[in-house]
Copies of this chain bind each other. A is one copy, B any other.
């Protein structure tokens, strides 16, 4: 499909806004030093040193309450900014110009040492050392900004350095876009998966087990398992075979794959009987063993080896974030081994599967990033130049032929090959990268993979590394926020809450629950001594899709069979009890569906579940 521009303009705009923030803060608090101010996803930040916190004088400490004042100053300043004036300077000149700012001095020295040009710019009474590009017409383009929050951050991210003050903000080309983003932030707060996860008892992260190591509580484990089963079924239908692999291996395996050197998030190794083992950070080397377990012929290919495998990644504790950033991540992984001439067709199948799955989860809009090497840092990658070129050409061809809009992501490739990354848009318009399909000519060389072709000749396969949901933990976090906790029926931990109005309706309620459970409808009975209204309210808070209310009216209308089935569905059908029982149904949205025959209700539920409403 068509190639989109990537977000260079937005990055320039936001980075330019960091300059505006720096100037304004320095005007408000003279003597403050600005450090770095890059564009980040959805905005920018600017770091400041507000001066020494000596024992004599009180250091400046700003808070969220200062943000409006700073914004006001920015607005005034912006009026005078017509364009960024650039000038190349020598190290000596730079040292003079930024003599009072230790951060700029350090950067100037470093740039000079690295043989880089030293550039300054001045958009209006504010000279700064900066190698980035900026907007053409600041006064006009930078109007729609907003400061968002304040945090502490060490200079250059190292706790050995001074703690600076970081101000986050954002900037958009239009007011509409800014407003939409601010609405998104507010809306996202309401949907915070950490809060919903706690309220609905989905998962638990505690200090005894450790940060980034979520335990899925019974309700959360139901969702997790529903996702797991669904992925299994969809993949199985398409000829994927599943394996199971352990969570550790000798570290040599990762030396061979290159992860040991090139992948930063490996856990530290542990020693058993003089041999070094490591927790797996990736499933690939394990799945390669499956490929290598017997001689392969072209008839075996494509060979699709799948596993929802938990990997362990050493994320810094400061970067852990609910289910979004964890240390134990379960990847819905596939490694598909293909002949080179099968690459395009297999990619087409993969993209179709991604669209099917994402659409079943209610994500209908997507873009694709073609992630290629950072050509300036080729040392970050393994493998021969010719293989890389071939892979990057092949993957762009796939993108071009697909029906998904795409853009280039230079520097976003894996260390062994380029990737297609699918960006989905959630219910409030945020973008998430979950799916990835990576093309790898390098690992087949590392692991000496072979197959015999029709002519009896040895050939090397290519490997496609595919994750559709990515990390199931993170995907669940995205889902919770996407649905704001109101999961569709097929994913709801409790699908029906049966509510007896009085004690005398409890036995009937228990029997209705048994019949529902026999049809694999996840059912609970609320037999507390609460009012009906209270029970309905609690079930709605718990976001249970349907409540089945049982009172005198329902009991009277029903013909109650003398024997209730315990478990077997067949028995239940045999007794025909479903037809003779009635319940009144309410939805979590407060809709009253009135009295309904249990059999009819069950078939309605089963239909909804199958259609993934």
Query: Shortest beta-carbon distance, A227 to chain B, in Å?
Result: 11
Given the contacts A204-B289, A273-B317, A215 and B252 also touching, CB distance less than 8 Å: no
Q: Does A85 contact B (CB under 8 A)?
A: no
Q: Does A250 contact B (CB under 8 A)?
A: yes
Partner of A273, one of B253, B277, B316: B316
Q: How far is the CA of A289 from the CA of B206 in the complex (A)?
A: 9
Contact A218 B247 (CB under 8 A): no
Partner of A245, one of B207, B215, B275, B279: B215
Query: Shortest beta-carbon distance, A605 to chain B, in Å?
Result: 17
Main secondary structure of the interface of A (DSSP, over half): mixed
Contact A248 B328 (CB under 8 A): yes
Interface residues of A in 303-322 (CB under 8 A from B): 305, 310, 312, 314, 316-317
Protomer copies: 2
Contact B246 A328 (CB under 8 A): yes
Q: Does A563 contact B (CB under 8 A)?
A: no
Which residues of B sit under 8 angstroms from A216, Cβ to Cβ?
243-245
Which residues of B sit under 8 angstroms from A151, Cβ to Cβ?
none
Given the contacts A225-B242, A273-B316, A293 and B209 also touching, CB distance less than 8 Å: no
Q: Does A567 contact B (CB under 8 A)?
A: yes
Which residues of B sit under 8 angstroms from A270, Cβ to Cβ?
267-270
Contact B243 A217 (CB under 8 A): yes
Given the contacts A204-B290, A217-B290, A210 and B250 also touching, CB distance less than 8 Å: yes
Partner of A213, one of B214, B248, B267, B268: B248
Which residues of B sit under 8 angstroms from A214, Cβ to Cβ?
246
Q: Does A272 contact B (CB under 8 A)?
A: yes
Given the contacts A252-B208, A272-B314, A246 and B215 also touching, CB distance less than 8 Å: yes
1/0 per residue, CB under 8 A from B, across A231-246: the answer is 0000001000111111
Which residues of B sit under 8 angstroms from A268, Cβ to Cβ?
270-272
Contact A253 B209 (CB under 8 A): yes
23 cross-chain CB contacts under 8 A: A207-B250, A209-B249, A209-B253, A209-B289, A210-B275, A210-B277, A213-B246, A213-B249, A215-B244, A215-B245, A215-B293, A216-B244, A217-B293, A218-B242, A218-B305, A221-B242, A237-B567, A246-B328, A247-B312, A248-B327, A268-B270, A268-B272, A272-B314
Excluding A218-B242, A248-B327, A268-B271, 11 further A-B contacts by CB distance (< 8 Å) are A204-B290, A204-B293, A207-B250, A210-B250, A213-B249, A215-B286, A246-B327, A247-B279, A267-B270, A273-B316, A279-B279
